[in-house]
């Protein structure tokens, strides 16, 4: 997509609007496959939570990808998109037994990260194959908001609780067919990831009937032109050698699985917003756009950086701007950033808006959620309509009040 294409999207579908480049999604999927081409059995499960639009899920299904889901609703979305149950792994955290029972009914691969739940489930469904999520106690990315494999994380069963796991498996006779870990996002140090992989290999030795090892994901993507990213080619080379060695020692060809989300869709997405007003104060020039953290919360929630480009004025001199939203909260997208001169009506593009952006959108301040567009084969395809007022009130039930009548009745009693 070039600048003119993006401006055409806003002209056709309005703003704000999310736009995703199908070619970039496809190339990222192929890149990861190529990095692990020396592994005989590779399975990629796209992490639905990153971007859950049905059309995007259908695209991954066409590519041959499975899905990583964390809720029964994501499982249902995957099935509706045409993904077969055996290609869906369901890794919930802290859900009810009833939700796990629903997953059994739907026939997806279940991944359990709680000792008590493991014992309850194994006692009731010993015949259902189960994957176990291990917490390797390895910090990835250096940010506890997005690193989920450290010792204080709520995710996974501690690697130090392996004796408890084995006791439960033996007592229930349940079938463990996979071992899983996910250290978190923004992995840069491949050595740290390989260290965590060794912990998973050691855990896997305790189970004789495994079918796959799932290494999660969390690969870092670049957020600006000179940013660093995970070298997935180097990781593929090193981990493939070690994985193949493990399979030889294990005596069986296992499947190597990953669950990439951000890696697949982050760079494919752009969020386009229109400048409502430019406001000069005693210290700052604010560019107010027709959106806020109701549509893109990551900068406020995670402190994430989304490069901002003025599509409408590409050749203008750069000035310092603070880009802010229209929400009745502090919703600052960027503080004192150099951006080409901004005028009212200009269209700004927020980069890396494919992952965890629309999926975190809300109706805060009773604002409508934006449209989504997929750029596919040099054409813009609407894949989610912009919400309307009717959508906003659709599920609300109006309660009728007659306070005056109540007051009159109270007077009669007196």
Q: Which residues contact 73 (CB under 8 A, 6 or more apart)?
A: none
- Predicted TM-score (pTM) of the model is 0.92
Q: Model confidence over 77-87: pLDDT tens digits? A: 999 999 999 99
Q: What is the DSSP letter of 87?
A: G
Structure tokens at 17: 């609007």
Q: What are phi and psi of 113, to 5 degrees?
A: -125, 30
Which structural domains are found in the chain, ordered by start?
Answer: 21-264 (3.20.20.10), 269-353+370-388 (2.40.37.10)
What pLDDT does 233 receive?
A: 96
Average pLDDT over residues 242-252: 97
Q: Please name which of 110, 63, 40 lies closest in space to residue 254, comparing C-alpha atoms.
A: 40
Q: Please name which of 211, 325, 221 lies closest in space to residue 279, comparing C-alpha atoms.
A: 325
Whether residue 283 is predicted with pLDDT greater than 50 in this model: the reply is yes
Q: Please name which of 329, 333, 271 lies closest in space to residue 298, comparing C-alpha atoms.
A: 333
Q: Please name which of 322, 308, 325 lies closest in space to residue 367, comparing C-alpha atoms.
A: 325
Q: What is the DSSP letter of 86?
A: G
Confidence of residue 326 (pLDDT cuts 50, 70, 90): very high
Structure tokens at 3: 């600048």
The DSSP line for 169-190 is: HHHHT--EEEEE---BS-B--H
Q: Model confidence over 170-208: pLDDT tens digits? A: 999 999 999 999 876 677 788 888 999 999 999 999 999
3-state SS of 242-285 is HHHHHHHHHCCCCEEEECCCHHHHCCCEEEEEEEEEEEECCCCE
Q: What are phi and psi of 371, to 5 degrees?
A: -80, 160
CA 390 to CA 311: how far, in whole Å?
A: 32
Average pLDDT over residues 298-309: 92
Structure tokens at 219: 């690969």
Structure tokens at 235: 């990781």
CA 177 to CA 130: how far, in whole Å?
A: 6
In degrees, rounded to 5, the angle at the alpha carbon of residue 19 between the alpha carbons of residues 77 and 374 is 55
Whether residue 317 is predicted with pLDDT greater than 70 in this model: the reply is yes
Whether residue 150 is predicted with pLDDT greater than 80 in this model: the reply is no
Q: 48 with 78: CB under 8 angstroms?
A: yes
What pLDDT does 186 receive?
A: 72
Q: Model confidence over 47-106: pLDDT tens digits? A: 999 999 999 999 999 999 999 999 999 999 999 999 999 999 999 998 988 999 999 999
CA 126 to CA 17: how far, in whole Å?
A: 47
What pLDDT does 341 receive?
A: 98
Which single residue is written with the structure tokens 């009669």? Answer: 412
What pLDDT does 147 receive?
A: 43
Q: Is 131 a catalytic residue?
A: no
What pLDDT does 291 receive?
A: 98
Q: Model confidence over 369-395: pLDDT tens digits? A: 999 999 999 999 999 999 999 999 999
Taken as a whole, the chain contains a residue count of: 414
Q: 212 with 253: CB under 8 angstroms?
A: no
CA 318 to CA 66: how far, in whole Å?
A: 44
Confidence of residue 38 (pLDDT cuts 50, 70, 90): very high
The DSSP line for 325-372 is: -SSSS--EEEEEEEEE---TTPEEEESS-SSSSGGG---GGGPPP-EE
What pLDDT does 307 receive?
A: 96
What percent of the chain is predicted at pLDDT more than 90?
84
Confidence of residue 145 (pLDDT cuts 50, 70, 90): very low
Q: Which residues contact 29 (CB under 8 A, 6 or more apart)?
A: 44, 60, 63, 65, 264
């Amino acid at each position: 997509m070039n600048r003119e294409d993006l401006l055409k999207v806003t002209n056709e579908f309005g703003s704000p609007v999310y736009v995703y480049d199908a070619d970039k999604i496809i190339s990222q999927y192929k890149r990861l496959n190529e990095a692990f081409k020396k592994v005989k059995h590779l399975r990629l499960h796209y992490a639905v939570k990153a971007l859950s639009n049905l059309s995007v899920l259908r695209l991954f299904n066409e590519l041959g990808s499975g899905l990583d889901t964390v809720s029964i609703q994501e499982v249902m979305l995957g099935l509706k998109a045409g993904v077969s149950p055996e290609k869906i792994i369901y890794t919930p955290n802290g859900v009810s037994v009833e939700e796990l029972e629903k997953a059994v009914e739907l026939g997806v691969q279940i991944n359990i990260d709680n000792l008590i739940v493991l014992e309850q489930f194994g006692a009731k469904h010993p015949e259902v194959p189960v994957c176990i999520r291990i917490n390797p106690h390895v910090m990835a990315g250096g940010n506890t908001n997005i690193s989920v494999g450290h010792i204080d994380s709520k995710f996974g069963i501690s690697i130090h609780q392996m004796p408890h796991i084995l006791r439960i498996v033996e007592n229930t006779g349940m079938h463990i067919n996979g071992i899983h870990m996910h250290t978190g996002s923004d992995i840069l140090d491949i050595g740290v990831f390989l260290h965590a992989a060794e912990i998973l290999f050691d855990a896997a030795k305790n189970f004789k009937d495994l079918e796959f090892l799932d290494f999660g994901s969390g690969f870092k993507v670049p957020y600006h032109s000179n940013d660093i990213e995970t070298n997935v080619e180097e990781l593929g080379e090193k981990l493939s050698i070690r994985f193949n060695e493990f399979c030889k020692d294990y005596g069986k060809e296992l499947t190597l699985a990953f669950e990439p989300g951000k890696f697949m869709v982050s760079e494919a997405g752009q969020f386009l917003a229109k400048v409502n007003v430019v406001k000069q104060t005693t210290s700052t020039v604010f560019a107010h756009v027709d959106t806020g953290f109701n549509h893109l919360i990551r900068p406020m929630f995670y402190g994430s950086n989304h490069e901002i480009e003025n599509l409408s004025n590409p050749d203008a001199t750069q000035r310092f701007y603070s880009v802010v939203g229209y929400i009745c909260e502090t919703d600052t997208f960027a503080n004192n950033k150099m951006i080409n001169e901004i005028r009212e009506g200009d269209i700004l593009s927020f980069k890396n808006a494919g992952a965890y952006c629309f999926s975190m959108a809300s109706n805060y301040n009773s604002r409508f959620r934006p449209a989504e567009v997929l750029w596919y084969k040099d054409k813009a395809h609407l894949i989610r309509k912009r919400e309307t007022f009717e959508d906003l009130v659709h599920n609300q039930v109006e309660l009728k009040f007659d306070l005056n009548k109540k007051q009159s009745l109270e007077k009669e009693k007196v």
